[in-house]
Structures are given as structure tokens and as C-alpha cells.
Amino acid sequence: MQVLVRDNNVDQALRALKKKLQREGLFREMKRRRSYEKPSEKRAREKGEAIRRARKAARKLAQREGLAPKPKKRVAAAGARR
């Protein structure tokens, strides 16, 4: 994975790298591999993830069809920055 460093701005490049790694799911994978996961626990986790994905897809479909209200947009505080 590559990140472009512009004008020797290493902080910005590190933030970009972290964002890319997070999108790829690397941190989640590292956390999962820290300790052994029993096969039964793995099945339960994967089943829960599948249920969450299905709920999210159904919610998005309902919003597209106008059956459910659209999510409210978050308003950031005046000085807050992510």
C-alpha cells in the first residue's frame, strides 16, 4: 500500500495511510487474530455480522422506497474537527 507524501508533510501522509488501512479492515483483522477464536465463536460472529448486513441492506432499501425516514445528518460542534 502506498501513500504519497507531499511537501514533507508526514503527519498528513500518516493520516491518509491510517484511513486506507481502516477502509481495508486491517485493524479489525489484527484485533481478531490477537487470540484464538473457537470455531463455534467464529460461526456465531459471522452469523451476527450477516444479520447486521441484512438489516442494513433492508433499511437502505426502505429508505430508497420512502418507507423509512432518511437518517438525520450530524451537525458538528463549532470548534470540533475530526
The ranges assigned to domains in the chain are 1-35, 37-68
Please name which of 35, 28, 2 lies closest in space to residue 17, comparing C-alpha atoms: 2
Give the pLDDT confidence score for residue 72 in this predicted structure: 82
pLDDT at 49: 95
Predicted confidence at residue 46, as pLDDT, reads 96
Region 32-45 average pLDDT: 95
Question: What is the average per-residue pLDDT within 1-27?
Answer: 92
Show Cβ contacts of residue 68 under 8 Å, excluding neighbours closer than 6 positions: 59, 62
CA distance linking residue 42 with residue 55, whole number of Å: 20
